[in-house]
């Protein structure tokens, strides 16, 4: 929409008019002020495609109709590609569709961490690892915005469950917040500069995120330099005035006359400075003026359906993870007699429920795609996802019999199963597949010469109870509308699978680090596992899992040799490895670099992903891959001093085929940060003794004040010191025989300043 009026500073407008800019005009757009040259912006979901609705039929849960658009692979699949290029191409295509459909700001991607595999919206999030989430999110945002459209990343922050999502308080300690839950947002905000950040519904340590001054004003804007608009999640403003003061500019949806009136009143009563309103309206107006220009968004031009469907198919294949391939049953041969079993082979499950739901232009069925390639493909439903028999309670003897029949009369059976319950608004209750699907897999595996299982679903499902009965397992997630062809391409080897798990597949739900703390109770969820999320936990406590983070097979093989690591500064290093495709097919390999250390005073996970790169290799081809390890790769968040610190010490750089399988390792010793910790009277005796100036001074002064006899005794008893190292020096004064006064300690401290 072109601007219509003169461009005036919105702060100069009467209070009532400018406040109207701080909440939406309707469900999906911001309020315009035409005579001040401020157009309206259209905001729309979402993370894997455009869900543009007519305002008359608007909703934020995906119930009502939306305009047709392409359903690209959801984040769960993009993450499994471990390829920023895939994320970038998804972002760019969504940007093009946003322009074509008249959308100025796209709501997504979601950058939240998969804390529990049960979170109902995990399909909209990338990974249990913040680096993988951040790198992919940044690529998506950068390319989407390069199309002249804005992005609102979401849901800031610590929004990791659907249960009680609008009230629950995530109780999380500062180090965990900084090391696990914020870094993806931090990377995306600082590197890709989204124009908008959406606050989450939940509270963090008691404070609703829409009014969290510390995280919005101090961290997001202050530390990361975010200059865009902060928008609420839909309906997620609880106290409008507090939210405004904390830095939430735009309340959505709107209008909200009641809240506008509260803001006006607060200004009139002198409780909120008018400058606070001015800052918010200037941000909203600046964004509207920059995005809602006539040439930025074409309106409802239509989308390149064919081209984008082909792209959705190509990108979906990148997210498929080959978990197991016994007896090289895959790839399938076109001339094999193939029994395809399962309703989802014909009626694909390719997206989750809720606000991200796309009215897809079409959806590929794997069955049809397989029929295009295979010479003999027969199908049996096996089970039905209709409610009559799809809730896990009932097994249809007839459907089962039919499936077993064609399986027995085949060379290979491919069973399509699906987890359920991937939706916004509700967490899953179990990792298990419905019982009738497990029974089906087992019955087919017993009858067929070879069995392949293809799993669909937005989050990991348990593979127990049948894993060892089958030859191959393909993790097909939710792949978007091109997923059917993508699966067929992988099954027949048209595409060599190169996806890797972005989340661990545990053996049991009870093994997950959050088991006793998810989804919380009485309005609180305690992040008691701290930084030990996902593989960080399993590797640290050496707990067996079914498939580790980072796992993924290929139809070719790769070798990793010649690893070197060199420090490139006090707190940075570069690792190099040589990777070779040792098989006979072209393939894509992910080099995963983890850092393991015990340096510093905090408990570190056994290893943490700190860099990765995906490379394409022809058969026999060799390449040297270089991975830069930045300061953050070695740092921990030092809560005492509110800063990132690199401790002096040894760091092992490990190249893994997964988080559990390390294939090469080299160490590097880094000087790290000079210790600049300021001591006080509350610092411990041990800390004082370790200080280059205070240590000798303290020893001297104490010795001088002791009787000869006592000094000899304390010298003899070197064990004594162990008993007192953790005593704050101030408390030492309370003990007899310590001839020290508080002034002595204060004088020593002053001598260091
Ligand atoms: C979701 C957001 C979404 C918004 C608008 C909310 O329910 O949490 O992710 O962008 O609705 O549909």
475 falls within a domain: yes
Going by CA atoms, what residue is nearest to atom 12 of ligand 1?
60
357 Cβ closer than 6 Å to some ligand 1 atom: no
Instruction: Render the burial of 101-118: b for 16+ CB within 10 Å, e for the rest.
Output: bbbbbbbbbbbbbbbbbb
Same domain as 96, residue 149: yes
Q: Which residues contact 447 (CB under 8 A, 6 or more apart)?
A: 404, 407, 408, 413
Report the atom number in ligand 1 closest to the C-alpha of 165: 8
Bridge-based pairing state of the strands 587-596 and 608-617: antiparallel
Same domain as 696, residue 665: no
60 Cβ closer than 6 Å to some ligand 1 atom: yes
| % of the chain surpassing 70 pLDDT | 95
Out of 355, 424, 427, mutate this one to test ligand 1's pocket (max ligand atoms within 8 Å of CB): namely 355
CB 473 within 8 A of CB 326: no
CA of 200 to the centre of ligand 1 (A): 9
677 falls within a domain: no
199 Cβ closer than 6 Å to some ligand 1 atom: no
Same domain as 211, residue 153: yes
> What is the pLDDT confidence band of residue 210, given thresholds at 50, 70 and 90?
very high
Indicate the burial class of 561 (C-beta count within 10 angstroms; 0-12, 13-18, 19 or more). Answer: exposed
Q: What pLDDT sits at residue 298?
A: 55
Give one DSSP letter per residue of 509-578, joined into a string.
GGGSTTGGGSS-BTTEEE-TTTT--THHHHHHHT---SB-TT--B-SS-EEEEEEEEEE-SSS-EEEEEE
Report the atom number in ligand 1 closest to the C-alpha of 154: 9
Report the atom number in ligand 1 closest to the C-alpha of 110: 9
Number of domains in the chain: 4
User: CA-to-CA distance for 66 and 72, rounded, in angstroms?
Assistant: 16
234 Cβ closer than 6 Å to some ligand 1 atom: yes
Q: Which two tokens stand for residue 363?
A: 């959806």
Same domain as 197, residue 113: yes
Residue 423 C-beta-side C-alpha neighbours within 13 Å: 12
Question: Model pTM?
Answer: 0.94
Helix (H) or strand (E) holding 197: strand 196-199
CA of 233 to the centre of ligand 1 (A): 6
Going by CA atoms, what residue is nearest to atom 7 of ligand 1?
60
Lowest mean pLDDT among 227-231, 421-425, 463-467: 421-425
Instruction: Give the end of a domain, one of 540, 569, 589.
Output: 540
51 Cβ closer than 6 Å to some ligand 1 atom: no
The neighbouring-strand residues paired with 666 are 653
Same domain as 76, residue 187: yes
Q: Find the mean pLDDT for residues 288-310.
A: 79
Whether omega for the bond prior to residue 709 falls within 30 degrees of 0, making it cis, is no
687 Cβ closer than 6 Å to some ligand 1 atom: no
CATH code, 599 = 2.60.40.10
* Separation in Å, CA 583 to CA 264, 332, 333, 352, 620: 70, 18, 18, 37, 7
CA of 504 to the centre of ligand 1 (A): 27
User: CA-to-CA distance for 88 and 141, rounded, in angstroms?
Assistant: 8
Going by CA atoms, what residue is nearest to atom 3 of ligand 1?
355
Residue appearing with tokens 């989340």:
503
Instruction: Give the end of a domain, one of 507, 540, 573.
Output: 540
Q: What pLDDT sits at residue 59?
A: 80
Indicate the burial class of 675 (C-beta count within 10 angstroms; 0-12, 13-18, 19 or more). Answer: exposed
Q: Which two tokens stand for residue 727?
A: 């005593």
Lowest mean pLDDT among 489-493, 666-670, 734-738: 734-738
249-258: per-residue pLDDT in tens? 999 999 999 9
Same domain as 605, residue 500: no
48 Cβ closer than 6 Å to some ligand 1 atom: no
Going by CA atoms, what residue is nearest to atom 8 of ligand 1?
233
In which domain, by residue range, is 616 found? 558-670
Same domain as 258, residue 161: yes
CA of 142 to the centre of ligand 1 (A): 21
| % of the chain surpassing 90 pLDDT | 85
181-199: per-residue pLDDT in tens? 999 999 999 999 999 999 9
Q: What pLDDT sits at residue 117?
A: 98
Q: How many CB atoms neighbour CB 163 within 10 A?
A: 17
Same domain as 491, residue 371: yes
CB 472 within 8 A of CB 329: yes
Instruction: Evaluate if residue 402 carries a pLDDT over 80.
Output: yes
Alpha carbon 174 to its chain's center: 18
Torsion from C-alpha of 129, 141, 203, 525, nearest 10 degrees: -20
107 Cβ closer than 6 Å to some ligand 1 atom: yes
674-688: per-residue pLDDT in tens? 876 789 999 999 889
Helix (H) or strand (E) holding 562: strand 558-567
Going by CA atoms, what residue is nearest to atom 11 of ligand 1?
60
Out of 107, 151, 167, 199, mutate this one to test ligand 1's pocket (max ligand atoms within 8 Å of CB): namely 107
Active site residues: 233
Residue appearing with tokens 């830069």:
628
45 Cβ closer than 6 Å to some ligand 1 atom: yes
Q: What pLDDT sits at residue 700?
A: 87
685 Cβ closer than 6 Å to some ligand 1 atom: no
CB 455 within 8 A of CB 422: no
436 falls within a domain: yes
Residue 152's SS3 state is strand
CA of 120 to the centre of ligand 1 (A): 14
> What is the pLDDT confidence band of residue 299, given thresholds at 50, 70 and 90?
low
CA of 152 to the centre of ligand 1 (A): 11
Sign of CA dihedral 660, 664, 669, 670: negative
Out of 60, 150, 202, mutate this one to test ligand 1's pocket (max ligand atoms within 8 Å of CB): namely 60
355 Cβ closer than 6 Å to some ligand 1 atom: yes
Q: What pLDDT sits at residue 686?
A: 87
Out of 424, 425, 427, mutate this one to test ligand 1's pocket (max ligand atoms within 8 Å of CB): namely 424
CATH code, 448 = 3.40.50.1700
> What is the pLDDT confidence band of residue 710, given thresholds at 50, 70 and 90?
confident
149 falls within a domain: yes
CA of 480 to the centre of ligand 1 (A): 19
CA of 135 to the centre of ligand 1 (A): 23
Going by CA atoms, what residue is nearest to atom 5 of ligand 1?
60
553 falls within a domain: no
Same domain as 398, residue 258: no
Same domain as 576, residue 427: no
CA of 153 to the centre of ligand 1 (A): 11
> What is the pLDDT confidence band of residue 390, given thresholds at 50, 70 and 90?
very low
Out of 210, 233, 237, 427, mutate this one to test ligand 1's pocket (max ligand atoms within 8 Å of CB): namely 233
Q: What pLDDT sits at residue 5?
A: 67
Out of 120, 234, 250, mutate this one to test ligand 1's pocket (max ligand atoms within 8 Å of CB): namely 234
Q: Based on DSSP, count helices (H) and strands (E) in the chain, helices before strands.
A: 22, 26
CB 104 within 8 A of CB 296: yes
Q: What is the mean pLDDT of the chain?
A: 94
User: CA-to-CA distance for 605 and 13, rounded, in angstroms?
Assistant: 54
User: CA-to-CA distance for 100 and 97, rounded, in angstroms?
Assistant: 5
CA of 155 to the centre of ligand 1 (A): 9
Report the atom number in ligand 1 closest to the C-alpha of 59: 12
159 Cβ closer than 6 Å to some ligand 1 atom: no
Same domain as 506, residue 435: yes
719 falls within a domain: yes
Same domain as 136, residue 194: yes
657 falls within a domain: yes
CB 729 within 8 A of CB 681: yes
485-506: per-residue pLDDT in tens? 999 999 999 999 999 999 999 9
Q: Which two tokens stand for residue 192?
A: 């890709």
CA of 202 to the centre of ligand 1 (A): 13
453 falls within a domain: yes
User: CA-to-CA distance for 536 and 608, rounded, in angstroms?
Assistant: 7
CA of 60 to the centre of ligand 1 (A): 5
Lowest mean pLDDT among 62-66, 244-248, 278-282, 285-289: 62-66
Instruction: Evaluate if residue 105 carries a pLDDT over 90.
Output: yes
> What is the pLDDT confidence band of residue 752, given thresholds at 50, 70 and 90?
confident
């Amino acid at each position: 929409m072109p601007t219509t009026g003169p461009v005036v500073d919105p702060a100069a407008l009467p209070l009532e008019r400018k406040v109207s800019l701080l909440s939406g005009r309707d469900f999906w757009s911001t309020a315009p002020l035409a005579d001040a040259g401020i157009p309206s912006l259209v905001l729309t979901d979402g993370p894997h495609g455009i869900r543009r609705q007519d305002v008359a039929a608007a909703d934020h849960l995906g119930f009502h109709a939306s305009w047709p658009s392409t359903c690209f692979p959801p984040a769960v699949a993009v993450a499994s590609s471990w390829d920023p290029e895939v994320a970038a191409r998804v972002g760019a295509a969504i940007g093009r569709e946003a322009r074509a459909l008249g959308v100025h700001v796209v709501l997504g991607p979601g950058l939240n961490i998969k804390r529990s595999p049960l979170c109902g919206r995990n399909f909209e999030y990338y990974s249990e690892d913040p680096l993988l989430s951040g790198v992919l999110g940044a690529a998506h945002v950068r390319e989407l915005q390069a199309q002249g459209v804005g992005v609102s990343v979401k849901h800031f922050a610590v929004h990791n469950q659907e249960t009680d999502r609008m009230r629950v308080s995530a109780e999380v300690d500062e180090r965990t917040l900084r090391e696990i839950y914020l870094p993806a947002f931090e990377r995306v905000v600082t590197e890709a500069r989204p124009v908008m950040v959406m606050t989450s519904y939940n509270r963090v340590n008691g404070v609703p995120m829409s009014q969290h001054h510390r995280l919005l004003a101090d961290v997001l804007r202050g530390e990361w330099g975010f200059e865009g608009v902060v928008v609420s999640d839909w309906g997620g403003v609880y106290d409008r005035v507090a939210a405004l003061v904390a830095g939430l500019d735009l309340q959505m949806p709107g209008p909200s006359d009641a809240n506008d009136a509260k803001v006006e009143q607060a200004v009139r009563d002198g409780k909120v400075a008018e400058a606070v309103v001015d800052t918010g309206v200037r941000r909203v107006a600046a964004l509207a003026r920059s995005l809602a220009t006539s040439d930025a968004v074409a309106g409802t031009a239509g989308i390149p359906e064919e081209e984008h469907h082909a792209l959705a198919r190509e990108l979906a294949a990148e997210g498929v993870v080959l978990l197991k391939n016994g007896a090289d049953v895959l790839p399938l041969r076109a001339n094999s007699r193939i029994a395809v079993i399962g309703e989802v082979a014909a009626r694909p499950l390719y997206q989750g429920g809720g606000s991200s739901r796309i009215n897809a232009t079409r959806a590929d069925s794997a069955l049809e795609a397989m029929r295009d390639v295979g010479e003999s493909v027969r199908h049996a439903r096996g089970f039905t996802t209709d409610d009559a028999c799809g809730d896990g309670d009932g097994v249809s003897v007839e459907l089962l019999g039919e499936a077993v029949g064609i399986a027995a009369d085949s060379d290979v059976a491919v069973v399509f199963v699906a987890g359920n319950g991937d939706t916004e608004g509700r967490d899953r209750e179990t990792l298990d597949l419905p019982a009738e699907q497990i029974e089906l897999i087992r019955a087919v595996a017993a009858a067929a010469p070879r069995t392949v299982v293809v799993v669909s679903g937005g989050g990991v499902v348990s593979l127990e109870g049948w894993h060892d009965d089958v030859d191959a397992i393909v993790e097909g997630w939710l792949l978007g509308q091109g997923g059917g062809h993508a699966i067929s391409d992988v099954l027949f080897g048209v595409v060599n699978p190169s996806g890797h798990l972005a989340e661990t597949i545990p053996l049991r739900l009870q093994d997950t680090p959050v088991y006793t703390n998810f989804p919380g109770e009485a309005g609180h969820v305690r992040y008691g596992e701290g930084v030990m999320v996902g593989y960080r936990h399993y590797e640290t406590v050496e707990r067996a899992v079914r498939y580790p983070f980072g796992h993924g097979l290929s139809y070719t093989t790769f070798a990793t040799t010649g690893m070197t690591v060199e420090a490139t500064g006090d707190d940075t290093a570069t690792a190099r490895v040589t990777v070779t495709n040792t098989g006979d097919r072209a393939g894509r390999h992910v080099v995963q670099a983890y850092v393991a250390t015990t340096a510093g005073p905090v408990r570190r996970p056994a290893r943490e992903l700190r860099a990765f790169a995906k490379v394409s290799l022809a058969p026999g081809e060799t390449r040297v891959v270089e991975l830069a390890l930045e300061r953050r790769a070695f740092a921990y968040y030092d809560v005492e001093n509110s800063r990132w610190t690199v401790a002096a010490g040894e760091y092992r750089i490990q190249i893994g085929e997964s988080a559990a399988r390390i294939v090469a390792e080299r160490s590097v010793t880094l000087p790290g940060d000079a210790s600049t910790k300021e001591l006080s009277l509350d610092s411990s005796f041990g800390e004082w003794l370790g200080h280059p100036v205070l240590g000798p001074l303290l020893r001297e002064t104490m010795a001088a004040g002791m009787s000869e006899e006592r000094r000899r005794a304390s010298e003899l008893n070197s064990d004594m010191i162990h008993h007192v190292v953790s005593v704050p020096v101030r408390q030492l004064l309370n003990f007899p025989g310590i001839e020290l006064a508080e002034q002595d300690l204060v004088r020593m401290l002053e001598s260091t300043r």
